Amino acid sequence: MSGPQPVTTFGHHVRLSLPRADFSVSVDLSLPARGITVLFGPSGSGKTSVLRCIAGLERAQNSRIRMGAEVWQDDAAGVFLPAWRRPLGYVFQEASLFEHLNVQGNLDYGLKRSKAPRARHALDEAIELLGISPLLARRTATLSGGERQRVAIARALATAPGLLLLDEPLASLDHARRQEVLPWLERLRDELQIPIIYVTHASDELARLADHLVVLERGQVKAAGPTDTVLAEIEHPVLQGEEVGVLLSGRIVERDEHWQLARVALDGASLWLRDTGAPLGRSVRLRVLARDVSLCSAEPQHSSIQNQLPCVIESMAPDLHPSQLLVRVRCGASVLVARITRRAAASLGLQAGQAAWAQLKSVAVMA
Amino acid sequence: MPFTPEALQAIWLTLKLATLTTVFLLLLALPLAWWLAHTRSRWRAPINALLTLPLVLPPTVLGFYLLVAMGPHGPLGHLTQTLGWGLFSFTFTGLLIGSMVFSLPFALQPLQHAFASLGPRPMEVAATLRAHPLDAFFTVALPLARPGLITAAILTFAHTVGEFGVVLMIGGNIPGQTRVVSTQIYGHVEAMEYAQAHWLAGSMVAFSFVVLLALTLVQRRADRPTIRVSP
């Protein structure tokens, strides 16, 4: 488990505490200058409270919020900027579009009030990034749930904020609508030059979007750090049961048209995956679940599984069910987590530091 | 000619009174309703009850106290005399003040309900879009509360047109000054001029019907699920 990064490497720092009825929220976070930081945790763990305090919609105590050179709140110095003076964008769980304005009117609302000289450019960029130019003349009531959220995000970006806060923006959407909006969020993550804090309790959103991960439990930070590092943790896995697994990033380096497969080069390994049509050179994010990884003590000879990687066992930890173990293995610079039975570990004599082979039954390509 | 010159004068005065009452009362009720809809002060409940009193008190009781307050020995009378405005009892201004008090709940309650039903979200969204709270009130809360605003205006106007007891108590029955339609009808009936009374009374019935119809239409439009064919 890696603690919060030191302030010196990052421009944005949030330290806040907020008493609640049953527990108190207390976090100390440094945000990277760009990319999505996912604030992850079960419902009622205080994620939304943290976001509202950063935005100034709720007032935390003994807190200090610094964004680059600007201090938004410093209770020791008696500084508190009200929400409307904080240059941030906020997207609420249900797209709270102004019903009395059409889409264009909604987008212009923040634009007119922003003092940022590049707000016009930011809005044009957001309209392009989120593909909403066909919607501009529409009344908000005629939009689908997914369209509403895209408009709400563009509206938040139209003020050219220095920080974008997203509070479970997909939670009010059904599965099909979520799948419709997720690619737009991935585009935002890759294109925007500002930090994004994204609150969710859905592991698929985490897996697809998070560059950095902060896990919150009953108001306390349980784990924080780069997503792949935090997810590869097996002593106290962030995700439970079927969702234990790792994220890998790689690049498509070869396509085999005959077998319809693509080769993805990872840090120190490579995998043959289903060819999704993505071009050579494209960066991809892969999710490998622990249940889909098995281990062999020697090189497997006659297996149907195509992806077999030599690896070194790093550590083993008990899983939820006493019959099972989580095993962390290293293949080159990449880390995998395998779920095996304790009996298998015993009969193969698996131990930390030992060389083995990992077989990957299935790999999900996130983007 | 169904309406005598006196009747026409009374109609004109009634419309003037109702219009001015509506305008001034809405200006007063907007901030008051906003405060009542949002405050967590322990004074909220007693103040709310106090402001709703005109709804249940007999108009004569209300008129009586207003008359005393505006009179030479009342607090309001003292104030107006000190300011050199003279006494408001038995004047149009006094009538206007009385009407505002009398119709206060009718302006306040629809607005309060409309503001409360917006919830905090629209104002929060506006704040995250850099709108100062006052800016957000005029550009977000007020437009969204428009059905409530229209309801408040219609109710206040209609209620003022229909008032009688308060007018009689604090305005008396001075033609051109304080004699409105309702007191004019009373005068006609007293004088056994049933024909004239019929014309005025019938007009009031028609007017009230139209007002209530308009109100229903406004409210139906506000409640209608907003499914429309996109352009």
Whether residue A79 has pLDDT greater than 50: yes
Instruction: Give the pTM.
Output: 0.84
The sheet carrying A355-360 orders its strands as A293-296, A355-360, A307-318, A324-331, A334-341
- Which residue in B118, B121, B124, B129 has the most chain A C-beta atoms within 10 A of its own C-beta, making it the best mutation to test that interface? B129
Comparing CA positions, the residue from A57, A110, A98 lying closest to residue B129 is A110
- A130/chain B closest Cα distance in angstroms: 18
Please tell me whether residue B45 adopts helix, strand or coil conformation.
Answer: helix
Chain B residue with Cα closest to A92: B125
* Mean pLDDT for chain A overall: 90
List the structure tokens of B42. 């322990």
The span from the CA of B196 to the CA of B202, in Å, is 10
Q: Do A88 and B128 make contact, defined as CB atoms within 8 angstroms?
A: yes
- In chain B, which residues have their Cβ closer than 8 Å to the Cβ of A99? 144, 226
Whether residue A296 has pLDDT greater than 50: yes
**The pLDDT of residue A269:** 86
Q: State the pLDDT confidence band at A2, using cuts at 50, 70 and 90.
A: very low
Chain A residue with Cα closest to B119: A96
- Cβ-contact A132, A67 below 8 angstroms: no
Separation of CA B83 from chain center: 26
- In chain B, which residues have their Cβ closer than 8 Å to the Cβ of A109? 126, 129, 131, 139
Chain A residue with Cα closest to B144: A100
Per-residue pLDDT reduced to its tens digit, A27-52: 998 888 888 999 999 888 999 999 99
Average pLDDT over residues A144-154: 92
Q: Do B131 and A155 make contact, defined as CB atoms within 8 angstroms?
A: no
- Cβ-contact B69, B77 below 8 angstroms: yes
**The pLDDT of residue A188:** 87
- In A, what residues contact B, Cβ < 8 A? 55-57, 82-85, 87-90, 92, 96, 98-100, 109-110, 113-115, 137-139, 141-142, 155-156, 158-159
- In chain A, which residues have their Cβ closer than 8 Å to the Cβ of B150? none
The span from the CA of A173 to the CA of A177, in Å, is 6
- Cβ-contact B170, B66 below 8 angstroms: yes
The span from the CA of A93 to the CA of B58, in Å, is 49
The residues pairing with B223 across neighbouring beta strands, listed in sequence order, are none
- Cβ-contact A323, A340 below 8 angstroms: no
Whether residue A125 has pLDDT greater than 60: yes
**The pLDDT of residue B1:** 56
* The dihedral sign for the CA sequence B201, B206, B207, B209: positive
Per-residue pLDDT reduced to its tens digit, A227-268: 989 999 888 888 888 889 999 989 999 999 999 999 999 988
**The pLDDT of residue B224:** 52
**The pLDDT of residue A359:** 94
The span from the CA of A263 to the CA of A14, in Å, is 41
**The pLDDT of residue B206:** 92
Most confident of A62-71, A111-120, B105-114: B105-114
Whether residue A24 has pLDDT greater than 80: yes
- In chain B, which residues have their Cβ closer than 8 Å to the Cβ of A55? 128
Q: Cβ contacts of residue A124 below 8 Å, gap of 6+?
A: none
Q: Do B231 and A137 make contact, defined as CB atoms within 8 angstroms?
A: yes
- B42/chain A closest Cα distance in angstroms: 21
* A84, A92, A141 ranked by CB distance to B132: nearest: A84
- B125/chain A closest Cα distance in angstroms: 7
Separation of CA A363 from chain center: 18
Q: Do A141 and B122 make contact, defined as CB atoms within 8 angstroms?
A: no
CB pairs under 8 A between A and B: 73
Q: What is the ipTM of this complex?
A: 0.84
Average pLDDT over residues A350-359: 93
Average pLDDT over residues A205-232: 92
Helices (H), chain A: 47-55, 103-113, 119-130, 145-157, 175-191, 203-209, 227-231, 342-348
Q: Are strands A220-226 and A79-80 parallel, antiparallel or unpaired?
A: unpaired
- In chain A, which residues have their Cβ closer than 8 Å to the Cβ of B132? 84
Helices B92-118, B5-38: axis angle to 10 degrees equals 40
List the structure tokens of A8. 């010196």
- A137/chain B closest Cα distance in angstroms: 8
Q: Do A57 and B140 make contact, defined as CB atoms within 8 angstroms?
A: no
Q: Do B126 and A142 make contact, defined as CB atoms within 8 angstroms?
A: no
Q: Do B126 and A109 make contact, defined as CB atoms within 8 angstroms?
A: yes
Per-residue pLDDT reduced to its tens digit, B136-167: 999 999 999 999 999 999 999 999 998 888 88
- A107/chain B closest Cα distance in angstroms: 10
Q: Cβ contacts of residue A221 below 8 Å, gap of 6+?
A: A4, A27, A28, A29, A214, A215
Domains of chain A, first to last = 7-236 (3.40.50.300), 283-365 (2.40.50.100)
Q: Do A141 and B227 make contact, defined as CB atoms within 8 angstroms?
A: yes
Domains of chain B, first to last = 5-221 (1.10.3720.10)
Average pLDDT over residues A147-160: 93
With b for 16 or more beta-carbon neighbours within 10 A and e for fewer, the A337-363 pattern comes to bbbbeeebbeeeebeeeeebbbbbeeb
- In chain A, which residues have their Cβ closer than 8 Å to the Cβ of B128? 55, 57, 83-84, 88-90, 156
The span from the CA of A312 to the CA of A317, in Å, is 15
Chain B residue with Cα closest to A56: B128
**The pLDDT of residue A367:** 65
**The pLDDT of residue A36:** 93
- Which residue in A100, A101, A123 has the most chain B C-beta atoms within 10 A of its own C-beta, making it the best mutation to test that interface? A100
Under DSSP, the state recorded for A5 is: P
Phi/psi at A256 (nearest 5 deg)? -110, 105
* The dihedral sign for the CA sequence A74, A75, A77, A83: positive
Provide, rounded to the nearest whole percent, the portion of chain A with pLDDT above 70. Answer: 97
- In B, what residues contact A, Cβ < 8 A? 121-122, 124-133, 135-136, 139-140, 143-144, 146, 226-231
* A57, A98, A141 ranked by CB distance to B228: nearest: A141
Whether residue A4 has pLDDT greater than 90: no
**Number of residues that make up chain A:** 367
pLDDT along chain B (231 residues), means of 10: 82 93 96 94 93 92 92 90 88 92 95 94 96 96 93 93 87 85 90 91 90 83 48 33
- In chain A, which residues have their Cβ closer than 8 Å to the Cβ of B143? 98, 100
